[in-house]
Structure 1
Amino acid sequence: MRVLLASTAGSGHFGPLVPVAHACRSAGHEVAVAAPESFAAQVAGAGLEHLAFADAPSVVLAPVLARLPSLSTEEANRTVLADVFGRLDAQVALPGVTAIIQEWGPDLVVREPIEFGSLAAALAAGVPHAVVAVNVSALMDRVSAVVAQPLAELDEIAGIALGSCSAALRTATTFTSVPRILDDARPLIIGYGGPLHRYRAPAGTGDRELPPPWGDPADPLVYVSFGSVASTLPHVAGVYQAVLGALADEPLRVLLTTGDGLDPHALSAPGNACVRRWWPQAAVLPEASAVVGHGGFGTTLAALAAGVPQVLLPLFAMDQFVNAEQVAAVGAGVRLLGGADAAVGVPAALGTVLGEPRYAAAAQAVADEIAALPPVTEVVRALEELAG
């Protein structure tokens, strides 16, 4: 079987595809990744073959992105979903993915939820398709309404019946590493008719040691991560220094990672904090008493899988707000609204999740359900059936 995975140029969107890709390859199937040309290094870093399609030109993308800081969070999210993912990215990707499908001849297209070019291309070519979720199910209620018109435009460009992409968005076979307890916390309003398969993503690998000792070793360890994008966005990047300042006098050991968009040396770190660009979560989470994050899918699910309670400050993307809602709804953490300005509330929120055992107990309940999910190898069997 030939499996073509498709992703936008976002590490958080691509990451959940990687274990599925490796599971397929381990089962003897041929795997390639269709992704923008700019994403070549990330695909290569995952050890996968990259079949490139064009990026949206910066000359048309830049003006849209430049408007975002002046918009409300809701307006900015709608703009990114509709105009960036739904129109610019999808319409530029469509010819390239169409050519890749024609030339490479996959038996199946497996996409992340926001890569819409491959959705239209698969429908036009009559190739079965599936989705690997990078979100809780409730998010797709909101996404589908926002992208309905851009998907109708994509139908026309792809030469398929009007409404095809929107219908496929609702009925696609979906594979998700989100446990039912988290999805059910705030269930879907509209609902989706496609099959849903849950699986357990493999635990992270790599260095299992923490950085050299810092702070008071008797204090609880708090892991702070705002993902790979926040540090590249000037209007939210101030959250890093704000959190360090808010926690400077707290009896905690803080490990904060900045990602590649911010030099750790540019931050003023108090004595109870250690700042790195990255550190393997497989080393940090088993030792952490709490996590402070923005509700990004990868870190949020990883913390839940480790049974660690969270304080979540959604910063800029719709999924962050929905993920934070779900975590708070199951009692596994506290949600703070207000973006970077909410950093002032982090010490009190940490006092709550660390001081009240019910938060750790709720996080452990989610971890237990995640541990009971079938392994990612079960995804391969379902994909084989879907591809016939």
Structure 2
Amino acid sequence: MARAGFAHEPFADAPPELIGPVMGSLPSLEFEEADEVVIREVFARIDAQAALPGLLEVVERWQPDLVLRETAELGSLAAAERGGVPHAQVCIGMHEVLPRFAESIGEPLAELGHLAGLDEDRLGPAMDGETVLSLVPEVLDRASGTEQGGAGFLRFHEPTTVADAPHVPVWGDPEVPLVYVTFGSVTGSLPPFAGVFRAALDALADTEARVLMTVGRKVDPATLGALPPNARVEQWWPQDAALGEAAAMLGHGGFGTTMGALAAGVPQVVVPLFTFDQIVNGEHVQAVGAGLTVERGPASVEPAAAQVRRLLAELEFAVCARQVAAAMADLPRPADAVPVLTGLAG
């Protein structure tokens, strides 16, 4: 950020004494209930209330003309409304995630408004009236079968950076296809999901492919033990570079992972692990024919690996993935959002 000439104003993280007990309770809850708790108690209450004082101070000091926030960050919504500043939203999911998120946060949103010195019923309508910027093409959003977006819902395309990215290391048989495996950067820090990395490696060991797995900064690849001959594990690799050479991907349905594969025209198998939007992303990928999704949870990693072999054998998945990639590439670039944002700023 600094090298690009921008100021960085970090706001407070959630206090460990508040976030710890909530996160610790999740393994004992059913999937849907745990997901509801994270949305309501973590995103909308603990995180937002921790961020609010710093964001109020930044808005007061900067006097911005516009606040641009992402879907799950609500402290800036309250700070913008308190400061009388126009605001817009970058959607970090399929369009159908937005109403689901809004349904879950009514009570903490009213509480947040009160803490910001606003009427308790102000933030809900303020959020509903936001202009929304999305990276999801209409063909993918439409897969839910419901009406998607409106005049205030604008779609853009994030260009990839494959040309500047390092090539994937060469190992094994370079003639067989490359399968990229990633469960995002958070999974490795969540104890209930610690075994998914080894499970995926073992399940793909007999696949006629080279397997590149990234595990995130919280996992030491050495702790996974001896690797199958066809596998290589890195903490991190530029995703655009890996997908630029991959024939298929196994992922958890995280938004960045899912959209990265689609933008590269790479078919994927989605094994949702811990949030409802991962399920939604997998369903949309399957609905447009760009891949397959399996039942949620760590136990589904092994059957998901079997579906990877299907992606490699049945070329129609790659054809559909490339069609989605073409639809994404036809969207305006993010720079084209600037006139929209300046217009909102007046």
Range of TM-score over shorter length: over 0.9
The CA distance in 2 between the partners of 1:155 and 1:187, in whole Å, is 34
Partner of 1:11: none
The CA distance in 2 between the partners of 1:113 and 1:204, in whole Å, is 25
The CA distance in 1 between the partners of 2:288 and 2:213, in whole Å, is 26
Aligned CA-pair RMSD: 1.7
1:171 aligns with 2:141: no
Partner of 2:324: 366
Tell me which amino acid in the other structure corresponds to 1:83: E
The CA distance in 2 between the partners of 1:385 and 1:349, in whole Å, is 47
Partner of 2:64: 106
SS of alignment partner, residue 130 of structure 1: strand
Partner of 1:181: 139
Specify which of 19, 23, 38 is matched with residue 61 of structure 1. 19
Residue identity over aligned pairs, in percent, reads: 47
Between stretches 340-349 and 247-256, larger displacement belongs to 340-349
Structure 1 residues 195-245: Cα deviation after superposition (integer angstroms, max 9, x where no partner)? 01111112135433111x222222111000111100111101211000001
Tell me which amino acid in the other structure corresponds to 2:30: S
Give matches, 1:311-326, under 5 Å: 311-326=269-284
Partner of 1:249: 206
Give matches, 1:322-333, under 5 Å: 322-333=280-291
The CA distance in 2 between the partners of 1:362 and 1:60, in whole Å, is 45
Tell me which amino acid in the other structure corresponds to 1:196: F
Specify which of 177, 180, 196 is matched with residue 220 of structure 1. 177
Judge conservation of contact 2:215–2:235 (CA < 8 Å) in 1: yes
1:82 aligns with 2:40: yes
Distance change >3 Å, CA 240–CA 185, structure 1 → 2: same
Partner of 1:304: 262
The CA distance in 2 between the partners of 1:249 and 1:324, in whole Å, is 25
Give matches, 1:329-344, under 5 Å: 329-344=287-302
The CA distance in 1 between the partners of 2:332 and 2:151, in whole Å, is 19
1:180, distance to aligned residue in structure 2 (A): 0.7
1:353 aligns with 2:276: no
Partner of 2:221: 264
1:145, distance to aligned residue in structure 2 (A): 0.7
Unaligned runs of 5+ in 2: none
Tell me which amino acid in the other structure corresponds to 2:75: G
Unaligned runs of 5+ in 1: 1-42
Tell me which amino acid in the other structure corresponds to 2:200: V
Distance change >3 Å, CA 49–CA 232, structure 1 → 2: same
Judge conservation of contact 2:82–2:117 (CA < 8 Å) in 1: yes
The CA distance in 1 between the partners of 2:150 and 2:269, in whole Å, is 33
Partner of 1:240: 197
Specify which of 280, 286, 291 is matched with residue 244 of structure 2. 286
Structure 1 residues 157-210: Cα deviation after superposition (integer angstroms, max 9, x where no partner)? 222233221112222101111111111111557x76660111111213543311
SS of alignment partner, residue 360 of structure 1: helix
1:46, distance to aligned residue in structure 2 (A): 7.6
Partner of 1:33: none
Judge conservation of contact 1:171–1:193 (CA < 8 Å) in 2: no
Partner of 2:83: 125
Specify which of 97, 102, 106 is matched with residue 139 of structure 1. 97
Judge conservation of contact 2:207–2:309 (CA < 8 Å) in 1: no
Structure 1 residues 241-280: Cα deviation after superposition (integer angstroms, max 9, x where no partner)? 0000101111111000011010111113100001101111
1:94, distance to aligned residue in structure 2 (A): 1.4
1:45, distance to aligned residue in structure 2 (A): 8.3
Q: How many pairs does the alignment contain?
A: 344
SS of alignment partner, residue 50 of structure 1: coil
Tell me which amino acid in the other structure corresponds to 2:343: E
The CA distance in 2 between the partners of 1:218 and 1:352, in whole Å, is 18
Tell me which amino acid in the other structure corresponds to 1:220: P
1:354, distance to aligned residue in structure 2 (A): 1.8
